[in-house]
Structure 1
Amino acid sequence: MKKEILYQKIARTIAWQIKNGVWKVGEKLPSLRTISNENGVSLNTAIQAYYELEKDGFIASRPKSGYVVNYKPQRLSAPATTQPSIKFPGKEDEGLIDEVYHSIEDTSITRFSLGIPEDVLLPIAKLNKELIKAMGSLPGNGTRYEDPQGNIRLRKDIARFAYSWNGNLTEEDLVTTTGVTNSISLALSVIARKGDTIAVESPVYFGILQLANSLGLRVLELPTNPVTGIDPDALKKVLPQINLCLLISNFSNPLGSCMPDEHKKAIVNMLAERDIPLIEDDLYGDVFFGNSRPRPCKAFDERGLVLWCGSVSKTLAPGYRVGWIAPGKFKDAIIRQKHIHLISTPTLNQEVVARFMENDRYENHLRKLRHELHANSLHFAQSIIDYFPEDTKIVTPQGGFMLWVELDKRIDTTTLYYKAMQQKISIAPGRMFTLQDQYKNCMRLSYGQRWSPFIEERLMLLGDIIRKSF
């Protein structure tokens, strides 16, 4: 009884400190041994206290890193399931997209709009060493064409890596591409025809909308929950209307949602019953903050109808443009299309990534990246609590790079973008992620930059701009 009272007392004290801002979201807590020494209790008692705090959602454990504050105050509510307009035709706001991404190399701009990791989070020096080795070992020093299917070494590494989600893939099931957008483009060119209807999440990454429009596809945006992703029942209702489906199943861009396994399985099965292909963008699946990688829809594919697309653009080397696709029954057609459009993918880049993925180096890098990005997401959430209007709603994701922020309906985030750019702050307005007239009071913020007092100051300034916009 005495031990129970002690660990509960310690847990209550730390919980009070967290609630009152003594410990901020994302901060690392004292070690178990420090808690034991400072409170004059056994190590087991300290463990029980932290277990109690973790169970109640105040803290989270990080392998080899200890415990961090994970508290989310109640006033930080999440947006509701989206209810997009079901109408045709639709059009992306190309002018706004071009505006947000112009002068991308201007380092004076704080780009909360750019969904990639900052250079300091990437193992650039190690990649440079592998580049030199690759040039010395490849035929023609890396100047020759690759096989149309792609670098065999890289395909083997990707197949081995897929074991983390029970992927039953071999190197023969994979085709390399120049990034995930190229994977999706190849998939669409094979399975879609002009006038076909494609079902997508809403909001959805603007690049997908641009691709669909360029091919003359009719885009059907479906209700999407900010936590669990696309609504399976909503998809079921429109199955007779659609020819294909495209989903970002894990940590979607921009919403950050992650579909539960039972939803993924149900969607794969209902699409298979009607022989409808599913293009799966799994670009963010490796950037998870929990204990294990979420499985993609491909894990439930028994008929080869899921075209699983991935890349290292968000985790290792954005500019290398190294991606892949496991196209199932469409493999031969994908290879033909790739050969027509590309001939082959860049030889050196593939070899460098393949070498880095071996000997656990990629997984070690991912572990560090996940830890830092998770801490970033919590810091961003805390700053939004502190500096944005009280009615702000956000989704704190369990992986990926994105925060979807919903503001008061009187705020137009396109107008906000121009006001923020006067202070050299770039955001991604919600209107970019839909073909319909919606999400005007929403925006996407990326937390891919290393957290610092400067980043906090920029978020504080952004909050001030929002408050003055009423």
Structure 2
Amino acid sequence: MPHRTIKRMEPPFTAAPEAPIYRQLCERIAALIHAGALHRGDRLPSVRQMAQQQGVSLSTVLQAYRELEAQRLVEARPRSGYFVAAMPPPPRRRPALALAVPEITRPPAESQAVGVTSLVERVMGAASDPSIVSFGAACPGGDLFPTDKLRRAMARAMQRHQASLARYPFTPGVAPLREAVARRALGMGCSLDPAQILVTNGCLESISLCLRAVTQPGDVVALESPTYFGLLQILESLHLRALEIPTHPRTGLSLPALELALDTQPVKALLTVPTLSNPLGATMPLTARRALVQLARARQLPIIEDVLYNELHERAECRRALKSFDTTGQVMLCGSFSKTLAPGLRLGWVEAGRWSAPVRRLKSALSGGHTELIEHAMTEALNQPGLEQALRQLRATIGHRIQQARRLIGASFPPGTRVTSPEGGFILWLELPAGLSAVELFEAALREDICIAPGPMFSTSQRYDHCVRLGLGRGWGPAEQQALQRVGELARRMLDRARPGLDGEALQRAA
């Protein structure tokens, strides 16, 4: 059946101040698709035609079309333009009552010594067992990445730079990779000098180097609560104390709570993940990011910013880093491409602002340089054509997976279970009804060869013993979906034993 060509969209587009222009254009077209005004197979106006019609720039229209493509509402056809997708998904709906989002966290008011290694090692040992269906690790699987392109990148690096195998590598890393990192950072609103970028053995090493540069053993470091257990392990290894700051599952770190902590505690640094924090998936609004940088500048507080997940956020404006607001070098930017491109290469990077020189000296003393060949392979992968399209496809794939998992949780887990609804990434945080122990649920699931990550891994306290993190990056077939349903069934049985005589409605009220 021949497709229709939509020549004009009326009325002309006008921007409102509360949302970016491209976002408003995207939402308007999406509404027309969901309402049936635009049919499957319809050809949208060209980028130039749409820009002229709506009085906006070409880049604004292109960004809107790419966002619609990421939502699987439109598809780009080579040399033909953009078309309404053959089977557009239904519009995203607000979570049902049974899937309410957890409330803001309430961690201890005082800093704590860190001791999470034992539980983490047990969970990660199970998560790495190929015979176990694992939701325990926040690691993406090979099915999410263009492995053929990565293989070709490795082959080109070997052909062009095989002489590097006979050279001893030195910091800060090969110049072409640092230049490629600087180009990618433009997407986060950051203009970085490649000469100030340092290549590392992954994002965790970047963070560790930054902490070493600005703290001494016994110092207090503020961070989100709950937080990624890997960050707690770093604090533990450096003999630092963790001060957990209340965090909202949608909007992230509470700035009033942080300011109070700075007034009452000897905080030496802030370690934060403003975009898609792990494990909550929270994203800090841009106004709060600007205010946080201003607060840090006024208090002379070093900020260590983890941007590992930024490129997985569904909205381009939310990929903007704290560093983009920094004019004094107060923010130390740490990242890698292990969640978005090549987990196996294990390369990270850091731009440490005012502390670039001591961080570079620490890197040279502690681990030195890397295999240049691997750095050249990463450069090839970052510079290959089609990377942006691959990222859009990755975001669409994991977004669909997250929504499927939330539906399974709503159908399988006990009434009263709360679950996050992140705008990107492949992590969900569950708050189970009172009376359920996440560690006991972990043990029960492990006996059936299923691994989950219990909440106590993500805090210095036991306040999250009723919470679970689910990592959905390692595959999503029938086995994984059945395993997730089974975890829900186990949780229901455990709650029934803990609360005999309560029906489902009563359980929900009690939770």
Shorter-chain TM-score: which interval? 0.7 to 0.9
- Specify every segment of 5 or more residues in structure 2 that has no aligned partner in the other structure, as ranges: 1-29, 46-69, 77-84, 496-511
Paired residue for 1:205, among 228, 232, 237? 228
Match of 1:325 among 350, 368, 371: 350
> In structure 2, how many angstroms separate the alpha carbons of the residues matched to 1:311 and 1:394?
27
User: Are positions 1:117 and 2:128 aligned together?
Assistant: no
Give the aligned residue type for 2:406: A
What letter is aligned with 2:283?
C
* 1:141 CA displacement: 4.3
> Is 2:87 aligned against 1:64?
no
Paired position in structure 1 for 2:374: 349
Could you tell me which residue of structure 1 aligns to residue 205 of structure 2?
182
After TM superposition, list the pairs within 5 Å mapping 1:157-196 onto structure 2.
157-196=180-219
- Deviating above 6 A after TM superposition, structure 1's stretches of 4 or more consecutive aligned residues are 36-39, 41-44
Residue identity in the other structure for 2:171:
P
Cα 1:197/1:63, change in 2 over 3 Å: farther
Determine if contact 1:282/1:309 at 8 Å carries over to the other structure: yes
Q: 2:459 matched to which residue of 1?
A: 434
* Aligned-partner Cα distance in 2 for 1:37–1:287: 28
Cα drift, residue 123 of structure 1: 1.9
Amino acid aligned to 1:433: F
Distance 1:294 1:233 in 2: 23
Q: Kindly indicate whether the alpha-carbon contact (under 8 Å) linking 1:180 and 1:323 is maintained by their aligned counterparts in 2.
A: yes
TM-score, length-scaled by structure 2: 0.79
- What residue in structure 2 maps to residue 16 of structure 1? none
1:256/1:38 CA distance change after superposition, 3 Å: closer
Deviation readout 1:391-412 (Å, 9 max, x if unpaired): 1101110012210100012110
Report the CA distance shift for 1:441/1:348 in structure 2 as closer, same or farther (over 3 A).
same
Does residue 146 in structure 1 map to residue 169 in structure 2? yes
Aligned to 1:469: 494
Pairing 1:16-415 to 2, within 5 Å after superposition: 62=73, 64=75, 66=85, 67-69=88-90, 70-75=92-97, 76-138=99-161, 140-240=163-263, 241=265, 242-415=267-440
Give the equivalent residue in structure 1 for 2:509.
Answer: none
Aligned to 1:14: none
Q: Distance in 2 between matches of 1:189 and 1:353?
A: 27
Structure 2 residue aligned with 1:15: none
- The question of whether the paired residues in 2 share the 8 Å contact of 1:286 and 1:293 is answered with no
Q: CA deviation at 1:160?
A: 0.9
1:78-133 superposed Cα distances (whole Å, 9 cap, x missing partner)? 11000001234333332211110115542221111111111111222221222122
Classify the secondary structure of the residue corresponding to 2:304: strand
Deviation at 1:38, TM superposition (A): 9.1
CA contact (8 A) 2:126 2:451 kept: no
Task: Report the CA distance between 1:35 and its aligned residue.
Answer: 5.5
RMSD over equivalenced CA pairs, Å: 2.5
Q: Among the aligned pairs, what percent are the same residue?
A: 32
1:203-235 deviation per Cα after TM superposition (whole angstroms, max 9, x unaligned): 001111111122121210010000000000111
Which residue identity does 1:304 align to in structure 2?
G
SS of alignment partner, residue 339 of structure 2: coil
How many Å separate the matches in 1 of 2:44 and 2:385? 32
Q: CA deviation at 1:33?
A: 11
Letter in 1 for 2:303: L
**Structure 1, residues 254-313: CA drift from partner, whole Å, max 9, x if none?**
010000111111111111112110000110001012355521111111110100000011
User: What SS class does the counterpart of residue 278 from structure 2 fall into?
Assistant: coil
Work out whether residues 427 and 444 of structure 1, in 8 Å CA contact, stay in contact via their aligned partners in 2. yes
Distance apart, 1:466 and its partner CA: 0.6
Please state whether the residue corresponding to 1:102 is helix, strand or coil: helix
Q: Which moved more, 1:144-153 or 1:230-239?
A: 144-153
**Which residue identity lines up with residue 142 of structure 2 in the other structure?**
D
How far apart are the structure 1 equivalents of 2:461 and 2:226? 10
**CA distance in 2: counterparts of 1:61 and 1:124, whole angstroms:** 22
Once residues 434 and 322 of structure 1 are traced to their aligned partners in structure 2, the CA distance between those partners, rounded to angstroms, is 27
2:482 is the alignment partner of 1:457: yes
Quote the offset at 1:60 in angstroms. Answer: 5.6
For structure 1, which segment, 368-377 or 143-152, has the greater mean C-alpha deviation from structure 2 after superposition? 143-152
Q: Tell me the distance in 1 between the aligned counterparts of 2:39 and 2:300.
A: 63
> Which of residues 436, 440, 444 is equivalent to 1:419?
444
Contact kept, 8 Å, 2:210 with 2:359, in 1: the verdict is yes
Cα deviations by residue, 1:230-253 (Å, 9 ceiling, x for unpaired): 000111111142111000110000
CA distance in 2, matches of 1:364, 1:313: 17
SS of match in other structure, 2:373: helix
My pick for the range that moved more, 289-298 or 196-205, is 289-298
Which secondary structure does the structure 2 equivalent of 1:138 belong to? helix
Instruction: Name the SS for the 1:101 alignment partner.
Output: helix
Distance 1:420 1:143 in 2: 49
Give 2:6's aligned residue. Answer: none
User: Relative to structure 1, is the Cα distance of residues 386 and 194 closer, same or farther in structure 2, using a 3 angstrom cutoff?
Assistant: same
Tell me which amino acid in the other structure corresponds to 1:208: L
Q: Contact 1:250–1:285 at 8 Å: present in 2 too?
A: yes
| Distance of aligned partners of 1:102 and 1:262 in 2 relative to their CA distance in 1, 3 Å threshold | same
Task: State the alpha-carbon separation in 1 of the partners of residues 466 and 38 from structure 2.
Answer: 50
